[in-house]
Amino acid sequence: MKVVLQTTLLVASAALASGAWAAGKPLAKECGPNNDYVIGFSQANFKEPYREHVNHELERLVKNYPKFKLVIADGQATVNTQVSQVENFMTQHVDLLMISPFEAAPLTPSVSAAYKAGVPVIELDRKTSGDNYTAFVGGDNRAIAKEAGEWAAKTLLPDGGEAAILEGLPSSSPAIERLEGFKAGIASNPKIKLVAVQPVDWMEDQAVTVFSAMLQAHPDIKLVYTSNDLAAAGAYIAAKQAGKADQVKIIGTDGLPGPSGGIRAVADGQWAATFTYPTGAAQALELAKKILIDCATEVPRNILVPTQRIDQANAKSLYGKEKF
Amino acid sequence: MQGPRRIPRVDLLATLAHEASEMNKPTEAITSVKRRAGLGARLLRTRETGIIGALLIMVLALSIFAPNFASIDNILNDTRNLSFVGIVVLGQAAVMITGGIDLSVGSVWGLSAVASAAMMQAGMGVVPACVLTLLIAASVGLFNGFCVTKLRMLPFVPTLATMSIARALALVITRGKAIDGFRPDGDAFFALGGGDILGLPTPFVIFVILAIIAGVVLKRSVYGRQLYAVGGNERAAMLTGLDVDRLKISVYVMSSVLAGLAGIIEVSYLSSAISNQGLGKELSVIAAAVIGGTALSGGEGTVIGVFVGTVILEVLRNGLILLGTDAYWQGVFVGSVIVFAVFIDQLRKGVWRRR
Amino acid sequence: MSTTPTSTATAAVRPRNSLLTYLVRFQSLLGLVLVVSAGIMFSPRRHGHILFLAPDNVANIIRSISETGILSLGMTFVIIAAGIDLSVGAVLGLCSVLTATLLVNEGWGLWSTLSLVVATGVIFGAIQGAISTKFRIQAFIVTLAGLQVARGLSLIASNNSFININYGTGPGNAPPAFGILGERIGGVFPVATLVFLVLAVVAAFLLNNTRYGRYVVAVGGNEKAARLSGIPVSAIKISVYALTGFVAAIAGIVHAGQFSFGSPNDGAGYELTAIAAVVIGGTDLFGGAGSMIGTIAGAVMLGALANILQLNDVSAAMQLLATGAIIVVAAALQTYVVGRGVSAR
């Protein structure tokens, strides 16, 4: 009995001690304000315009952190390539891994390996499965799409009407989440009927072709929800061609800046609204600074970046501000 | 890629004779000199009749079953949409007639789109930017042609390589961004892709004009006949003194330039250019050419055929969307139609009766 | 390495210089040596260690090429038989989706799933081969169409979504044994690569040491002569497409196992990498001559190249450029030095 008690006490105190010690341990193995750090960002692909926007945001904002060197790798929308790139970052011994996994499950083993090897992992915009990451910064696709749907149901089409959806690349998580979210959102108004759903793979030219055909098959479409700004631009071209630019209300997603982005399109009255899907780049870099330079011992696990609806009321002023 | 490519000397004569008998001549009139069949019978025998017939059946079926397929607006939309691919198909058909293939057209399309946009954004005028872009496209074609002729590579290989290289250059030019803001609002450049001439979409008018030119050149000019000769039997063509190398280089240049033109027109329409423009279009282009009766082995193909092939592909896609078909069935349909079209063509030629 | 040209091919091959000929015959191995040396030279270093040669890095390289490597094994056969198969990437996707669906959603056992998936790949390939052979339609076209059909089928099988594979007992879980495909033996050697290696050995043996391999080479070299010598040409041609279907199915299973995941987008573009590996490996696109070892070396070379560029933070655009350039150089070597090519037509 005495032995058992003694052992238990020993184990308990050891656990307490290590716990106390762990609680005070910085998240990064080497940290401090005097070193230079390499951050490896594994981007799912460079093809989607949203992801290009994320890259640019990161490249722009990282200039504010002279100690950081940012390396961005293109996963080429292939899980095999992205896994290789995470592995290569490990070979290069990057100080911090940022990743937007193309898909969650396939990237989990390699990201977990990185995390377990002591490399801090910040997941941007998409998560891997499980808990092996330091922090997640991103929006909630489903919630944003649902908000768009509810706003459409209440404000845009309170009296109902026909609606269509142009979705992203089929079987990719954001496409699926935005589709389901929007459907849930408009369900709040039973007078809205969803008559057509087709994928346009995030591309503008496909959106033109597909939406023109949709307008032919369903001439009374009053609302179209698109999964990204480029698709909304294509939908606008199609609507204008069919002479229905006034009849069809267009909602985009992403809220990209620039002359071809959503903000300008809303400001010009071409679309009804767009919902920004903020990149989270600023938050992610701040987190990196806390981890690497400030030697933080813990950071918030989930930073949810909220969406902002850009509609006629705020588009013009925002466009002036966002322009760079 | 099937069939004997290397001819052992011993079989040379026999093979030449055999190939000569298999060579499909572009004008049926020569074969039916002895018994001059009536116009009706001759029309029925041309390869175009088959696919025009198929197109008519499709249009009829869709008009009945798909809502608003037959409306003027829809048809005009279709014509605009098919024009981009159609312009490229004209060049690809020329390449395929000489027995080659050009896999790089999608990437040259993209490269031209971003190059022209970037130049205009940098302040260059519309005309110089487009001319320079077409020159860039032409140089890609020149490279392809050079590899196929002087370096004697199979056309698959260098065009596969330029497919990657051109796409890489497009990525470099855009540096990952979309290029926009290069069109002053409401100007003539937009009319190129988005405007109308006499009620028809401008790209379609351009496509038709180019198709007429191509048709005349292929059927009536010496150059056209030389192209068929090269594709039908390259060895014989060489022996008769044709400059096979120059002919082949010319078609690759043409194919790239037309791909560049399609890219420029699309960019004027969409008013923004991303590095992905034209991605995957090479498969649509080849499919349209094949449906239109152009054989991969060379020596066959007509402009009317590929025109109809392009229309069929667009009508099929448009119809499937109008019918509300799930995205996944569209792939199955398009694939089956391609094989079916070639199958019908083989049936018409009685290819496997001769075994 | 054994390149086995037919007698007609030797008549057409005009070696200009025996040293150069040897160089080209071993071009893929030489190329691999070159790329590896460049990798060592340009590799970033850390505390004096050459990162490129780190065991983990090497393991990563061979893991990354396992699937396209498996595909290129089958592709070698098809190309030697003077054909081509553009659908392998899409069939990979179809098979990975099928594997995931059957294991997870339908609750099938491991062996029944694997059997059905492999059968699907083989039958799909055989159908393509049959259509191409019996109806004399160019393989390019048939497999192009097959690509579309396979993509469509995988979207249907997955219900337009992706499928995560969880391991365990009970419904909705796959047998844990399947997860071994994602493991590394001894923590270093990837199981996926082991599958590739085993298949590579079998494929090399099949090509070089069996009658079947000789028949394939004969059919690709001169179909008429082969038929006259009594070789069942149609059966051989259909069989090589069944082979590519088989390897695509295996690659799809490996993919699902490696990544615990099946998605209709899987394998997109893999066919071009497989073809590139075969071309770089010295196999003649005209058919009738080829080397399995060359293909394997070509596949490894492409993987090593991607790795070097990545380690040196070279942009994606440059990687595309480099791949394109290498394909051209390899093909130019083939035709220019050894004299294979259109000149012999």
Three-state SS annotation for A83-120? HHHHHHHHHCCCCEEEECCCCHHHHHHHHHHHHHCCCC
Tally Cβ neighbours within 10 Å of residue C33. Answer: 13
Give the pair of three-digit tokens for residue C130: 């049959």
Q: What is the mean pLDDT of residues A275-290?
A: 88
Shortest distance, CA C6 to any CA of chain A (angstroms): 38
Largest alpha-carbon pair distance within chain A? 89
Decide if A233 and B272 are in contact by the 8 Å CB cutoff.
yes
**pTM of the predicted model as reported, rounded to 2 decimal places:** 0.80
Residue C17 has pLDDT above 70, yes or no: no
Q: How many CA atoms lie within 13 A of B267 on its CB side?
A: 36
Q: Is C106 exposed, middle or buried (0-12, 13-18, 19+ CB in 10 A)?
A: exposed
- Name the residue with higher pLDDT: C8 or B180: B180
β B272-273/B179-180 pair status: antiparallel
pLDDT computed for residue B9 by the predictor: 45
Tally of structural domains, chain C: 1
How far, in Å, CA of C288 to CA of C223, rounded? 10
CA torsion, ordered B48, B52, B55, B56, to nearest 10 deg: -170
| C317 vs B148, B171, B339: nearest CB | B171
Query: Looking at per-residue confidence, does C172 or A10 come out higher?
Result: C172
At residue A47, φ and ψ (nearest 5 deg) are -80, -40
Establish if C239 belongs to a structural domain: yes
Which residue is closest to B338 within chain C, CA to CA? C145
Whole-number Å distance between alpha carbons of A237 and A220: 17
What does the longest C-alpha to C-alpha distance in chain C come to?
66
Which of 3.90.850.10, 3.40.50.2300, 3.30.930.10, 3.40.50.1970 is the CATH number of A141-277+311-321?
A: 3.40.50.2300
Pairwise CB contact (< 8 Å): C12 & B6: yes
The b/e string for C257-266 (b: 16+ C-beta within 10 A; e otherwise) is bbbbbbbbbb
Question: Is it the case that residue C175 has pLDDT exceeding 70?
Answer: yes
Residue from B2, B297, B333, B354 to probe the interface with C (highest C Cβ count within 10 Å): B2
- Cα distance from A46 to chain B (closest Cα, Å)? 7
Instruction: Give backbone dihedrals phi and psi of A223, rounded to 5 degrees, phi first.
Output: -145, 135
Given the candidates 3.40.50.2000, 3.30.230.10, 3.40.50.2300, 3.40.50.20, the CATH classification of the domain at A37-139+279-293 is 3.40.50.2300
Closest Cβ–Cβ partner in A52, A203, A217 for B324: A217
Look at residue C307 and give its three-state secondary structure.
Answer: helix
Mean pLDDT of chain A: 84
Shortest Cα distance from A10 to chain C (angstroms)?
A: 33
Query: Is residue A60 over pLDDT 50?
Result: yes
Q: Element (H or E) spanning A271, and its range?
A: none
Tell me the residues of chain B between 237 and 296 that have a Cβ less than 8 Å away from chain C: 283, 286-287, 290, 295-296
User: Which residue's structure tokens are 């002087």?
Assistant: B150
User: Does B336 contact C12 at a Cβ distance shorter than 8 Å?
Assistant: no
HSE-CB for C278 with a 13 A CA cutoff: 31
* Segment holding C130, helix H or strand E: helix C110-134
Question: What's residue A25's pLDDT?
Answer: 77
Query: Among partner residues A52, A208, A216, which is closest to B176 by beta-carbon distance?
Result: A52
* Residue C119 covered by a domain: yes
Mean pLDDT of A289-317: 87
Of residues A99 and B39, more confidently modeled:
A99
How far does chain B reach from its first CA to its final CA, in angstroms? 19
Q: What pLDDT, on the 0 to 100 scale, is given for residue C72?
A: 96
Best residue of A91, A172, A177, A227 to probe chain C, by most C CBs closer than 10 Å: A91
Q: Is B1 on the interface with C (CB under 8 A)?
A: yes
Using the Cβ of C259 and the Cβ atoms of chain A, whether some distance falls under 8 Å is answered with: yes
CB-based contact C260 A106, cutoff 8 Å: yes
Distance of residue A309 Cα from the nearest chain B Cα, in angstroms: 23
What tokens appear for A92 in the block?
């290069």
Report which of residues C34 and B11 the model is more confident about.
Answer: C34
How many beta-carbon pairs under 8 angstroms link A with C? 85
Higher pLDDT, C303 or B345: C303
Q: Are A91 and C60 within 8 A, CB to CB?
A: yes
Is the model more confident about C185 or about C66? C66
Q: What is the pLDDT of residue B214?
A: 94
Q: Sorting pLDDT into bands at 50, 70 and 90, what band is C240?
A: very high
Return the bridge partners of C185, or none: C189
- Taken as a whole, chain B contains a residue count of 355
Domain boundaries, chain A: 37-139+279-293, 141-277+311-321
Please give the average per-residue pLDDT across B20-42, as a whole number. Answer: 47
Dist CA B32 CA B204 (whole Å):
36
What pLDDT digit, counting tens, does each position of C133-156 carry? 988 888 888 898 899 889 889 888
The pLDDT assigned to B11 comes to 38
Chain A residues close to C157, C-beta within 8 Å: none
Which of A8-12, A318-322, B84-88, C106-110 holds the top average pLDDT? Answer: B84-88
| Contact residues, chain C, for B287 at CB < 8 Å | 144
Query: If you measure CA to CA, which chain B residue comes closest to A45?
Result: B176
Ordered DSSP codes for C233-258: HHHHHHHHHHHHHHHHHHHHHHHHHH
Task: Compare all CA atoms of chain B with the CA of A168 and give the residue at the minimum distance.
Answer: B327
Calculate how close chain C gets to B188, using CA atoms only, in Å: 33
CB contact under 8 A, C310 and A83: no
- Each residue's pLDDT tens digit, A68-122: 999 888 887 788 888 888 988 888 889 999 999 988 888 888 899 899 999 999 9
Is C146 part of the contact surface with chain B (CB cutoff 8 Å)?
yes
User: pLDDT value at position C98?
Assistant: 93
Residue pointed to by tokens 């896999």: B103
Taking CA–CA distances from A51, the nearest residue in chain B reads: B176
In a domain, C22, yes or no: no
| Average pLDDT across chain B, whole number | 80
* DSSP letter for each residue of A38-90: EEEEEES-S-SHHHHHHHHHHHHHGGG-TTEEEEEEE-TT-HHHHHHHHHHHH
Tens digits of residue pLDDT in C188-234: 788 889 999 999 999 999 999 999 999 999 999 888 899 999 999 99
Question: CA A20 to CA A16: how far, in whole Å?
Answer: 6
What average pLDDT does this structure show over B188-213?
Answer: 85
Tell me if ipTM is over 0.85. Answer: no
CB contact under 8 A, B178 and A260: yes
- pLDDT above 50 (res A296): yes
Lowest mean pLDDT among A315-324, B106-115, C13-22: C13-22
Q: Do A47 and B276 touch (CB under 8 A)?
A: yes
CA angle (A114, C56, C28) in 5-degree steps? 135
What is the predicted pLDDT for the residue at A279? 83
Amino acid C20: pLDDT: 60
Between C21 and C71, the more confident residue is: C71
Residue C263, chain A, CB below 8 Å: the answer is yes
How many other C-beta atoms are found inside a 10 Å radius of the C-beta of residue B280?
13
Q: Is residue C8 part of a domain?
A: no
DSSP state of B353: G
Asked if C161 contacts C227 with a C-beta cutoff of 8 angstroms, the reply is no
CB contact under 8 A, C263 and A80: no
> Which among B3, B9, B162 has the least Cβ separation from residue C223?
B3
Q: C181: domain range?
A: 53-340
Chain A residues whose CB is inside 8 A of the B271 CB are: 260
C-alpha atoms less than 13 angstroms from C-alpha of A261 in its C-beta half-sphere:
25
From edge to edge, which strands make up the β-sheet containing A135-138?
A68-74, A37-43, A96-99, A121-124, A135-138, A302-304
pLDDT value at position B33? 42
* Cβ neighbours for C184, distance < 8 A, ≥ 6 positions apart: C59, C63, C190, C191
What's chain A's length in residues? 324
Chains contacting A (3 or more CB pairs within 8 Å): B, C
Restricting to C residues 186-245, those with a Cβ less than 8 Å away from any Cβ of B are 221-225
Q: Kindly report, residue by residue over B303-335, the tens digit of the pLDDT.
A: 999 999 999 988 888 888 777 777 667 777 777
Select from C88, C99, C87, C34 the least CA-distant residue to C297.
C34
**Residue C65 falls within a domain, yes or no?**
yes
Residue B32's pLDDT band, with cuts at 50, 70 and 90, is very low
Q: Which of C227, C235, C223, C284 is nearest to C76 (CA)?
A: C284
Q: How confident is the model at residue B278 (pLDDT cuts 50, 70, 90)?
A: confident
- Beta-carbon count within 10 A of B326 CB: 16
| Residue B25: other Cβ atoms inside 10 A | 12
Contacts of C305 in chain B (CB under 8 A): none
Which residues are CB-neighbours of C7 under 8 A, at least 6 positions away? none
**Any B CB within 8 A of A221 CB:** no
A contacts of B181 (beta carbons < 8 Å): 258-260
Residue B29's pLDDT band (cuts 50, 70, 90): very low
Q: Which of A43, A71, A80 to mutate to test the interface with C (most CBs of C within 10 A)?
A: A80
Residue A260 to residue B180, Cβ atoms within 8 A:
yes
Tell me the chain A residues in contact with residue B86 when contact means C-beta distances shorter than 8 Å: none
Tell whether C37 is covered by a domain.
no
- List helix spans (H) across chain A: 2-23, 49-61, 79-91, 104-116, 141-151, 173-186, 204-217, 229-241, 262-267, 281-292, 315-322
Residue with tokens 């006034």: A246
Is the model more confident about B148 or about C345?
B148
Chains linked to C by 3 or more Cβ pairs within 8 Å: A, B
* Residues 6 or more apart whose Cβ sits within 8 Å of residue B206: B83, B87, B265
- Half-sphere exposure (Cβ direction) of C242: Cα atoms closer than 13 Å: 13
Mutate to test the interface with A, among C161, C184, C310, C323 (most CBs of A within 10 A): C310
In sequence order, the 6+-apart residues with CB closer than 8 A to the CB of C80 are: C207, C216, C217, C220, C240, C283, C284, C287, C288, C289, C290
- Residue A239 to residue A241: CA distance in whole angstroms: 5
Please give the share of chain B, as a percent, with pLDDT higher than 70.
Answer: 80
Inter-residue contact B324 to B345 (CB < 8 Å): no
Range C323-333 average pLDDT: 80
Domains A37-139+279-293 and A141-277+311-321 share a fold: yes
Q: Residue C18 falls within a domain, yes or no?
A: no
Encode pLDDT of B243-256 as tens digits. 999 999 999 999 99
pLDDT of B31 strictly over 80: no
Query: pLDDT-derived band of residue B291, with 50, 70 and 90 as boundaries?
Result: confident
Q: Which amino acid is located at C169 in the chain?
A: T
Q: What phi, psi does A257 have (nearest 5°)?
A: -80, 180
**CB distance from C10 to chain A under 8 Å?**
no
User: Token pair for residue C184?
Assistant: 């590394």
DSSP state of A280: -
The pLDDT of residue B12 is 44
3-class secondary structure, B77: helix
Both tokens assigned to C268:
């997109």
Asked if C225 and C218 touch (Cβ cutoff 8 Å), the reply is: yes
SS3 A303: strand
Dump pLDDT digits (tens) for B157-199: 889 889 989 988 988 887 756 677 666 554 677 777 777 888 7
In angstroms, the Cα distances linking B218 to B209, B214, B226, B257, B294 are: 14, 6, 9, 17, 13
Report the percentage of chain A scoring pLDDT > 70.
90
At C37 the pLDDT is: 87
Q: CB atoms < 10 A from the CB of A308, how many?
A: 15
What is the CATH classification number for the domain harbouring C298? 1.10.3470
Cβ–Cβ under 8 Å, residues C115 and C249:
no
Decide if A302 touches B, using CB distance below 8 A. Answer: no
C40 domain residue, yes or no = no
Reported confidence tier of residue C267, pLDDT bands at 50, 70, 90: confident
